A and B are shown apart, each in its own frame.
Chain A
Amino acid sequence: MAKSIDVSDLNIYYGDFLAVEGVNMTIRARSVTAFIGPSGCGKSTFLRSLNRMHEVIPGARVEGKVMVDGQSLYDPGVDPVSVRRQIGMVFQRPNPFPTMSIYDNVLAGKRLNAKRLGKKASDELVEKSLRGANLWTEVKDRLNKPGMGLSGGQQQRLCIARAIAVEPQVLLMDEPCSALDPISTSAIEDLIHELKSDYTIVIVTHNMQQAARVSDETGFFNLKATGEPGHLVEFNPTKKMFSNPDEESTEAYISGRFG
């Protein structure tokens, strides 16, 4: 189910503006890959290019290749909608659908596939997904209550349950804990650890301790200079990144001597 991603010479544009330049990396299946770097360096943009979500912004486009298990995401014949069904995404701010119950939120993606789900199959999928997101025990008695009634951390786990309910091959997380308190953050981090046995996880984070805690490999993005495009400075196993990075600027950023 989980798949690896090969990125080669990827340039990402917003109109004429080159936002991210020349990214090469291989994201291993069933592992957690973290992206760190200062704000505006293109790590979120890069993440969104992995499931073609950046195309939602008018004028955004890419050059280069993104291969998921040998299939290029940007082939002319590939429908971005089917890409997004295989590569799920969790956003910075929890965004359960406000008019839907917890139950319906979990099933939202599955129902898009147009196949009618029986009551029993639906119930099972909801339980499995909520258990997968470590939320089941907290919400099992109020599945028909609105998803917006949950706390921020619970909402974010609901969003993760919604994403894994469609059984994606890859799960992209764009700063999933930045709007959460430390306890909720810790719950999500535990969850990431568990999910990695089934999914390929890519996470963007501003929190370097978090990257060190949850990821197997880390990519450091930076701007060459103000106004220049962002690029991948270094991509290495997390242990190496945080103890003995190849690049001096990585070390400077990680140790807080940034500039």
Chain B
Amino acid sequence: MAGTVQESPTEPDPGGPGGSVVTTDDGGSTGRVGDRVFAGLSVGSAVLIVIVLAGVAIFLLEQGLPALGNSGESAYGKDNIWAYVGPLLFGTLLAALIAMIIATPLAIGVALVISHYAPRRIATAFGWLIDLLAAIPSVVYGLWGINFLALNLVPVYNWMGDNLGWLPFFEGPVPNSGRTMMTGGIVLAVMALPIITAICREIFAQTPKMHQEAALALGATRWEMIRMTVFPYARSGMFSAVLLGLGRALGETMAIALVLPPSVLVSLNLITAEGASSTIAANIANNFGNASGSKVDTLIFSGLVLFVITFAVNFLGRAIAARGQVKG
């Protein structure tokens, strides 16, 4: 203790009152030093994050923007850069959209089971299991997707092609490998599931007891109680959860690089090999190793597009979530 007392007056800035408080008790002055150290650390971390983000943005702009004029060879054989990046962007958004359509209801259901339906002991174990899904490396998801899921989905796709073929999404023909947009979306859904579930169940569990009891005392069933109190309370949180899941789905690389064939095209047909456009992230992973010269710029430009899209999605989401909070 004595050591800290002697050190502390020497620490503060000379201009501050530190010099005149040599005689203050040790609790006060060490507390002040602690405050400063902590304030410095947190401000420093905040600034660092902004610098890193700015650094990434500057790098992408500097390296990517020159590729705007690329065409032909340097745009991988396309007429202009947008003809190359556009389909990739489309593939990215489509895969993420499929993933969210599948993952959102599933995750909310699982989160409700954990927070409100299952007995506590089972719920805890079940929660751990879902969390474990997040710990699986994405390359493993990719291998599972290509060697197990895709093959097993082929009969399902065949059935869809036969019975739902009048919808443009399910026209077929179904490839024997099962490597389709739908498979990619499903793999992404499984990967996004633990994030969405974990956040949703935390918010669901925080719903005030008094409101839940109010609903139950009015004669609400458990589901009615959830609709009256849990969902309105958790709405903006659920939205943020879905956005974080969407963030993962948009940026996911390895699993998609393995599952989807590396083609660049626009198609809404979800269950053909020809209709499966790769995503920006997977395309960069597939091509960057062999790229040189202006092709590198093209790939970096596609990264810039992904960066902007992810940024925009997050901003939009935060704005909507904030609006929801004011209402609640």
Q: Do A and B bind each other?
A: yes
Interfacial residues, chain A to chain B (CB-CB below 8 A):
51, 53, 56, 58, 81-82, 84-86, 88-89, 91, 93, 95-100, 108-109, 112-113, 159, 162-163, 166
Contact bitstring B208-237, A, C-beta under 8 A = 1, else 0: 101111111111110010001100110000
Known: A58-B119, A112-B224. A82 touches B219 (CB 8 A): yes
**B211 contacts across to A, CB distance below 8 A:** 95, 97-98
**A159 contacts across to B, CB distance below 8 A:** 214
Q: Which residue of A lies closest to B119 (CB)?
A: A58
CA distance A257 to B299 in the complex (A): 84
Known: A91-B210, A91-B213, A159-B214. A97 touches B229 (CB 8 A): yes
20 chain-A/chain-B pairs, Cβ below 8 angstroms: A53-B217, A56-B213, A81-B220, A84-B217, A84-B218, A84-B219, A88-B217, A89-B217, A91-B213, A91-B217, A95-B214, A97-B215, A97-B228, A97-B229, A98-B328, A100-B232, A109-B220, A112-B219, A159-B214, A166-B218
**A162 contacts across to B, CB distance below 8 A:** 214, 218
**A82 contacts across to B, CB distance below 8 A:** 219
The reply to whether B220 and A112 contact each other, CB–CB distance below 8 Å, is yes
Return B252 CB to nearest CB of chain A, in Å. Answer: 34
17 other contacts beyond A98-B232, A112-B224, with CB at 8 A cut-off?
A82-B219, A84-B216, A84-B217, A84-B218, A84-B219, A88-B218, A95-B208, A95-B211, A97-B229, A98-B211, A98-B328, A112-B219, A112-B220, A113-B219, A159-B214, A162-B214, A166-B219
**B323 contacts across to A, CB distance below 8 A:** none
Instruction: Report B292-328 residues with CB < 8 Å from chain A CB.
Output: 327-328
Answer whether residue B120 sits at the interface, using C-beta atoms and an 8 A cutoff. Answer: yes
The reply to whether B213 and A85 contact each other, CB–CB distance below 8 Å, is no
The reply to whether B219 and A81 contact each other, CB–CB distance below 8 Å, is yes
Q: How many residues of B contact A (CB 8 A)?
A: 22
The reply to whether B210 and A93 contact each other, CB–CB distance below 8 Å, is yes
CA distance A85 to B213 in the complex (A): 13
**B233 contacts across to A, CB distance below 8 A:** 98-99
Known: A81-B221, A112-B224. A53 touches B216 (CB 8 A): yes
Interfacial residues, chain B to chain A (CB-CB below 8 A):
119-120, 208, 210-221, 224, 228-229, 232-233, 327-328
**A84 contacts across to B, CB distance below 8 A:** 216-219
Return A68 CB to nearest CB of chain B, in Å. Answer: 14
CA distance A81 to B119 in the complex (A): 19
Q: Which residue of A lies closest to B224 (CB)?
A: A112
**B229 contacts across to A, CB distance below 8 A:** 97
Return B105 CB to nearest CB of chain A, in Å. Answer: 21
The reply to whether A108 and B119 contact each other, CB–CB distance below 8 Å, is no
**B212 contacts across to A, CB distance below 8 A:** 56
Return B276 CB to nearest CB of chain A, in Å. Answer: 42
Q: Which residue of A lies closest to B209 (CB)?
A: A56
The reply to whether B232 and A99 contact each other, CB–CB distance below 8 Å, is yes
Return A203 CB to nearest CB of chain B, in Å. Answer: 15
Q: Which residue of A lies closest to B229 (CB)?
A: A97
Return A243 CB to nearest CB of chain B, in Å. Answer: 35
The reply to whether A109 and B218 contact each other, CB–CB distance below 8 Å, is yes
**A56 contacts across to B, CB distance below 8 A:** 212-213, 216
> Which 7 A-B residue pairings sit nearest by Cβ, starting from the closest?
A85-B219, A109-B218, A99-B232, A89-B217, A95-B210, A84-B219, A95-B214
Return A96 CB to nearest CB of chain B, in Å. Answer: 8
Known: A97-B228, A98-B328, A99-B328. A108 touches B216 (CB 8 A): no
The reply to whether B220 and A53 contact each other, CB–CB distance below 8 Å, is no
CA distance A163 to B229 in the complex (A): 16
Q: Which residue of B lies closest to A109 (CB)?
A: B218
The reply to whether B218 and A163 contact each other, CB–CB distance below 8 Å, is yes
Return A139 CB to nearest CB of chain B, in Å. Answer: 18
Return B228 CB to nearest CB of chain A, in Å. Answer: 6
**B221 contacts across to A, CB distance below 8 A:** 81
The reply to whether B120 and A58 contact each other, CB–CB distance below 8 Å, is yes
The reply to whether A51 and B218 contact each other, CB–CB distance below 8 Å, is no
**A93 contacts across to B, CB distance below 8 A:** 210
**B120 contacts across to A, CB distance below 8 A:** 58
**A109 contacts across to B, CB distance below 8 A:** 218-220
Return B11 CB to nearest CB of chain A, in Å. Answer: 47
In this complex, which of A56, A58, A96, A100 has the most chain B Cβ atoms within 10 angstroms of its Cβ? A56
Q: Which residue of A lies closest to B219 (CB)?
A: A85
Q: Which residue of B lies closest to A146 (CB)?
A: B327
**A53 contacts across to B, CB distance below 8 A:** 213, 216-217
Q: Which residue of B lies closest to A90 (CB)?
A: B217
Return B137 CB to nearest CB of chain A, in Å. Answer: 37
The reply to whether B214 and A91 contact each other, CB–CB distance below 8 Å, is yes
